[in-house]
Structure 1
Amino acid sequence: MRSVLAILTAGFVLAACAPETDLSQIDASTGTVPVLAASPDEKIKIVGSSTVAPFSTTVAEQFGAISEFPTPIVETTGTGGGFKAFCNGIGPDQPSISNASRPIKPSEVELCAKAGITQLVEVKIGYDGIVLANAKGSPELDLSKEEIFRALAAELPDGKGGWIKNPHQTWKDVADHLPDMQILVSGPPPTSGTRDAFAELAMEGGAEEVAELAALKESDKDDFVKKATTIRNDGKWIDSGENDTAIVQTLMKNPDSIGIMGYSFLEQNLDRLKGAHIEGTDPTFEQIASGEYGISRSMFFYVKKQNVSLVPGIPEFISEFTQEDAWGPTGYLVEKGLIPLQEDERIATREKALALEIMASES
């Protein structure tokens, strides 16, 4: 009897803290109050990638203007920071969608699972290129991945079986055909999906062209990845936060500076910036879409299916994002720099997204 009274007392305390909760909804066996569906004016909360954010923001504004639901809140936190917030819990007060400029990592799936978030819907939205850009009046750059690695890696082979701190001060130090310009690169921080993609596609790709690193990859892959992706910290690389606009401003102030950003930001600033050629290929819409541009990636958003019944409008938002007038070849997101999926992939992805098909877990 005493334990039952304690449970009921706990229930009344919880109810007092949440005056909108009906006392009849208290679970007498546990003394807890279930998570309730949000009110119709509850907004969808979206976090994550700064690269995907402009597309989500555009869809959110359109969605708020034409639907019965309020405009979703889009917060730029970086891909890694987005997953951390997204995986915090279930409920109307938690993010329902996480933007990502790379696939979710197994460790992030595990983080979500620890919070009871076990139903994730993955929606691939299109492609983007990682661009090395500088100001219009600055020298032209045609870089190989190996040259990017040799310019930015913290350590390089010393030719004697060991490693030395990166000695290169100018791009000409890296290769004679490059300009005699200080190496000064502004890029995204480690929490950014753009940084992850740059490290994997450019730095690892370049390291594989160096004989000593190629041999290391065969003998010790973990050490290879560490050597390939550890960026120098002697002032030649500057973490510039999650806001690509800040990188653009840096490039305008310093003609020697190079910025690493998503293609969409270059496309929006072509009056001020130009992109470096990568192994002779321009970072253009067509070259990225065809796969010829060597530093390109897929973009995603992830939906917390367990929030669908708790936050109004999530299926409708997914539908707006994945309809042809938005993400198709002539859709309004293309104007923002989105490079669309092929038609058959768009159709298949939309069907899975609207069905809220849960992504397969990796074993």
Structure 2
Amino acid sequence: MEAKLKKAIFMIAAAALALAGCQGQDGAGGGAGDARSQIRIVGSSTVYPFTTAVAERFAQANPRFDAPIVESTGTGAGVELFCAGVGVQHPDVTNASRRIKASELAECNANGVNQVIEVPVGIDGLVFIQANGAQPIPLTLEDVYSALAATPYGEPNTAKTWQDVNPELPAVAIKVYGPPPTSGTRDALAEMILEKGCTTNADMKALKDSDEDRYKQVCTKIREDGAYVEAGENDNLLVQKVAANPGSVGVMGYSFLDENTDKVRGLTLNGVTPTYETISGFDYPGARPLYIYAKGEHVAAVPGLREFLAEYASAWGDKGYLAERGLVASPADVQASAKAAITSLTPVSASELK
């Protein structure tokens, strides 16, 4: 126990020295010898509005600390920045609309980031939206896969309209605005929607066992002929594009739908409408957990980081202020374990990840 305590004290001291010693790199620090006084957060555009709300409350409640800097970079880019190292030039927290990958954790560890604290903050729905007043397009997982895959079931995608995909759907041109490859929402679209739609076919299930690389290509690669349009990381801009193009469909997080019901509405997926209740119960096929990841090495060195994490934990319940922003509360046991992770700063284990 004494050896472990000494190691922990050494790690905290090393992190503090690293933060204090890095001066003005990448615009992240102050003058010579100064540690960074602001918490720096990067990552998911889906989690961004929730973390921004927490940052605002934190700044109001803790005037002795500088207000955190929150950047929307996308999940993949955020994790890459987060995992690049320990020190003032590296972020303290990254938002993620999917779980960190084992390969990403390995990259963190290779760069000296060994205390990656995983905090599930709530649940979101990966929703499909259309303009209010547009002809409804009730979708299934198989419909979405057949419309968006580059090579559905191994054949080139020639579908031009939703009716080409499914005779029961309207003859409306397929035009889907969605997230870019750097987004965790794009990863969720591939894994939760396209892949599940693909494996409704028995041959595709068999392909997974026989040739996993080919399976991933066939089941998750999105077509590049203009039917799918990368709309960037700004979901509010995506809402505007869908609202201005009544025949189009958008892919985004539920919270942005919840905030823009005067412009757009959610499409049913497998017969289920995206609502707070269907997402919280995981009845909606696009329900997914959201995360923040904190750098344990920075907790003792960056002023206010521990208090910021505590503020997040106070906000994510079903009666918390993040529910007003569209965040769906996690089950009670998940909330409890997330709070415990913040208190104990126990790093996520590679054995838990894919």
Asked whether the two chains share a fold, i.e. TM above 0.5, the reply is yes
| Alignment match, 2:138 | 142
Q: 1:220 aligns with which of 203, 211, 214?
A: 211
Where do residues 190-339 of structure 1 align in structure 2 (5 Å cutoff)? 190-323=181-314, 326-339=315-328
Partner of 2:12: none
2:102 aligned partner: 106
Is 1:155 aligned with 2:151?
Answer: yes
1:60-91 Cα deviation digits (max 9, x unpaired): 00000111211110000000000111112212
Per-residue deviation at 1:156? 2.6
Distance in 2 (alpha carbons) for counterparts of 1:356 and 1:243: 32
Identity of aligned residues (%): 42
Please give the TM-score of this superposition, normalised by the length of structure 2: 0.88
Matched to 1:226, the amino acid is Q
Equivalent positions of 1:345-360 (< 5 A) are: 345-360=334-349
Letter aligned with residue 331 of structure 1: G
User: C-alpha separation between the residues in 2 aligned to 1:362 and 1:339?
Assistant: 27
Q: CA deviation at 1:34?
A: 5.3
Counterpart CA distance in 2 for 1:318 and 1:88 is 21
Deviation at 1:342, TM superposition (A): 1.4
Aligned residue among 37, 43, 48 for 1:48: 43
- Name the CA distance, whole Å, in 1 between partners of 2:79 and 2:340: 24
Q: Shift of the alpha carbon at 1:40?
A: 8.2
Q: 2:161·2:173 contact (CA, 8 Å) conserved in 1?
A: yes
Moved over 3 A (4+): 37-41
Matched, 1:36 2:27: no
Give me the whole-angstrom Cα distance separating, in 1, the residues matched to 2:72 and 2:257: 18
Query: Is residue 92 of structure 2 the alignment partner of residue 96 of structure 1?
Result: yes
Q: Distance in 1 between matches of 2:257 and 2:231?
A: 16
Cα distance in 2 for partners of 1:74, 1:34 equals: 22
Deviation digits for residues 23-54 of structure 1 (CA, Å, limit 9, x no counterpart): xxxxxxxxxx8542886871000000000000
Match for residue 178 of structure 2? 187
> Partners in 1 of 2:276 and 2:324 — Cα distance?
11
Distance 1:217 1:113 in 2: 30
Question: Is the Cα contact below 8 Å between 2:37 and 2:302 reproduced in 1?
Answer: yes
Give the match's secondary structure for 1:278. coil
Query: Residues 281 and 36 from structure 1, CA distance in 2 versus in 1: closer, same or farther, beyond 3 angstroms?
Result: same
Q: Does the residue aligned with 1:322 lie in a helix, a strand or coil?
A: helix
> Is the 1:49–1:99 Cα contact (8 Å) retained in structure 2?
yes
Is the contact between residue 143 and residue 277 of structure 1 (CA under 8 Å) also seen in structure 2? yes
Q: 1:156 to 1:313 in 2, by over 3 A?
A: same
RMSD: 1.6
Please give the per-residue CA displacement for 1:169-219, whole angstroms capped at 9, x wherever unaligned: 000111111111000001001110000011001000000112332231232
Report if the CA contact (8 A) 1:318-1:354 is conserved.
no
Q: Give the direction of change, closer, same or farther, for the CA distance of 1:361–1:212 in structure 2 (3 Å limit).
A: closer
Amino acid across the alignment from 1:200: E
The answer as to whether partners of 2:145 and 2:152 remain within 8 angstroms in 1 is no
The higher radius of gyration belongs to 1
Aligned mate of 2:329, from 340, 347, 356: 340
**Secondary structure at 1:281 match in 2:** coil
Conserved 8 A contact 1:146-1:210: no
Selected match of 1:121 from 117, 126, 133: 117
State the aligned residue count. Answer: 324
CA distance in 1, matches of 2:111, 2:283: 41
1:209-237 per-residue CA deviation (whole Å, 9 max, x = no partner) reads: 12332231232233212210000000000
Equivalent residue for 1:178?
169
SS at match of 2:336: helix
Separation in structure 1 between the aligned mates of residue 323 and residue 58 of structure 2, nearest angstrom? 17
- 2:11 is aligned to none
Residue 356 of structure 1: how far off its partner (Å): 1.1
C-alpha distance in 2 between matches for 1:231 and 1:210: 18
